[in-house]
Chain A
Amino acid sequence: DAGVIQSPRHEVTEMGQEVTLRCKPISGHNSLFWYRQTMMRGLELLIYFNNNVPIDDSGMPEDRFSAKMPNASFSTLKIQPSEPRDSAVYFCASSWTGTGKSEAFFGQGTRLTVV
């Protein structure tokens, strides 16, 4: 398996534009996580899905952020409209969570810059 695949790797956009980040989890995994990482706030969990259903989106900062998982092999994180303070590295991770033990696999991240 190629691991968790995120696209694009880098995104530069102007304030007010819509941004869509994409993630392909590892085949067979049933949980998917979206994180945002900045120097100031560290690694923040935004939302996670289990079996394609959003379980907890309490970390989503504002209504400008939305996430979907239409099927087990694809998820998107959308920011509309984007703002400079959204600049960060966004990570997607997937795991199999059927027992107490679990290992999450992270993608390479998308570095978003909003100017």
Chain B
Amino acid sequence: LAKTTQPISMDSYEGQEVNITCSHNNIATNDYITWYQQFPSQGPRFIIQGYKTKVTNEVASLFIPADRKSSTLSLPRVSLSDTAVYYCLVGDMRVTGGGNKLTFGTGTQLKVEL
């Protein structure tokens, strides 16, 4: 599985855009990049997933450069409720791909203040 590296923590203020970058230098050809969010006392929740270029949904955007060795989760205009831990995962979720293990790293603790 591709190892991921992301900042341990980040601070921001309400209304700002937050960008969290994840490094995954040994990403494999079939790997997808997935981000999860976890609030205290809850299980992780899927945010966004992509393979290359840019993916956008109602919650966030995911930017993936051409070499795919890193990715950036972008949260537009954060609020206090976005305070959470954000995990970057890389893997091939197909049954035979081995990435099925869905292994989480240490994540990035985002703290949003007024």
Contacts and interface: CB of A to CB of B under 8 A. Distances in A.
A91 B36 CA distance: 14
A104 B36 CA distance: 9
Contacts of A93: 43-44, 102
Given A99-B93, A100-B32, A48 B43 contact: no
Interface string B81-96: 0000001000011110
B: interface residue count bin:
20 to 34
Contacts, number: 76
A101 B44 CA distance: 17
B43 A109 contact: yes
Interface string A13-57: 000000000000000001101010000001101001010000110
A100 B92 contact: yes
Interface of A: 4, 30-31, 33, 35, 42-43, 45, 48, 50, 55-56, 89, 91, 93, 95, 97-109
A103 B44 contact: no
B26 interface: no
Contact of A98 (B31, B36, B94, B107): B94
Interface of B: 30-32, 34, 36, 38, 41-46, 49, 51, 87, 92-95, 97, 100-107
Given A106-B44, A108-B42, A109-B42, A101 B104 contact: no
B33 to A, nearest CB: 10
Nearest to B31: A100
B44 A97 contact: no
Given A95-B93, A108-B42, A101 B102 contact: no
Given A95-B93, A99-B93, A100-B93, A43 B46 contact: no
